[in-house]
Amino acid sequence: MSNDHRLRTTFDNAAALYQGARPDYPAELFCDLVAITGVEPPAHLLEVGCGPGKATLPLAQMGFRITAVELGDALAAQARHNLADFPEASVVTSSFEDWEPPTGVRFDLVYAATAWKWVDPEVKYAKAAALLPQSGHLAVWGAGHAFPTGFDPFFTEIQHVYDELGEGDGGSWPPPPPEDQPDPTATEFEASGHFAVAATRRYLWTRHYTADQYIALLDTFSGHIAMEPAKREHLYQEIRRRLALRPDRRLTRHWSAVLTIGRRLDD
């Protein structure tokens, strides 16, 4: 497994922050997920990498039965706490690669929210397909930073700080707007030989952050968790200093999510 994939264990360090700091996924996404896949409560869903239950809770509230698999001990404990009012939602502490369901169990839908990229590509598609009935669905989505036309200039300013610290990603600036951002997931679905793409949908939304709120968000990102403490402290000082100069002391961050739904190919 690559070094990038080893970073997946860092999220457990942010278990207490994650549910509050990360944005909620758009309600429209869940409506589309249900409409496109045709699943109805009390169908049995499998979630891969549930974290503290950010995507689990909305589906549990709809009445679905959910088995959620989570690698991190602390994140799994948070998920159990957040799902305590939903006895039909259970959380298993394991990697998806190592987890085995009871013999003969199949799921009406397998899904992953901001977790699929961390699962071993040599395993994930074949294993998901094996856990679904014929023509069953796999749904994957994430939430990332979007840079539409007119995005907050704060991010150009702070990018210089990342670059000075040697923490830039080396890409061109600014990144392409959301509509021009390629999403490799659909290609991966098709290339896996196990799924045909049934639908893709993109969602855009906006959140406003104070310095404390934004730093709490950054503390849930693997790259910032793994950053050298001195570099991280300097970065956070610069965020506070720059936002303190603004009249409202806030920044505006745009978010983008791409929902990809695949239909299992018949054996």
Whether 123 is in a domain gets the answer yes
Instruction: Report the pLDDT value the prediction gives residue 170, as an integer from 0 to 100.
Output: 83
Whether 171 is in a domain gets the answer no
Q: For 213-250, what is each residue's pLDDT tens digit?
A: 999 999 999 999 999 999 999 999 999 999 999 999 99
Residue 130 exposure: Cα atoms within 13 Å on the Cβ side = 13
Instruction: Report the pLDDT value the prediction gives residue 203, as an integer from 0 to 100.
Output: 97
The candidate with the shortest Cα–Cα distance to 143, out of 183, 93, 195, 108, is 183
Cα separation, 154 vs 147, in Å, equals 12
pLDDT band at 4 (very low <50, low <70, confident <90, very high): low
Cα separation, 26 vs 22, in Å, equals 12
Whether 37 is in a domain gets the answer yes
The mean-pLDDT minimum among 109-118, 122-131, 171-180 falls in 171-180
Give 139-154 as a DSSP string.
Answer: EEE--EEE--TT--TH
DSSP structural state of residue 124 = H
Q: Residue 102 sits in a domain of what CATH number?
A: 3.40.50.150
Structural domains in the chain (count)? 1
Whether 167 is in a domain gets the answer no
pLDDT band at 5 (very low <50, low <70, confident <90, very high): low
pTM: 0.93
Whether 237 is in a domain gets the answer no
pLDDT band at 2 (very low <50, low <70, confident <90, very high): very low
Give buried/exposed letters for 160-187 (b at 16+ CB in 10 A, else e).
Answer: ebbeebebeeeeeeebebbeeeebebbe
Of how many residues is the chain composed?
A: 267
Residue ranges with strand state E in the chain: 44-48, 65-70, 89-93, 109-113, 137-141, 144-146, 195-209, 251-264
> Which range of residues forms the domain containing residue 190?
3-146+177-206+254-264
Q: For 40-63, what is each residue's pLDDT tens digit?
A: 999 999 999 999 999 999 999 999
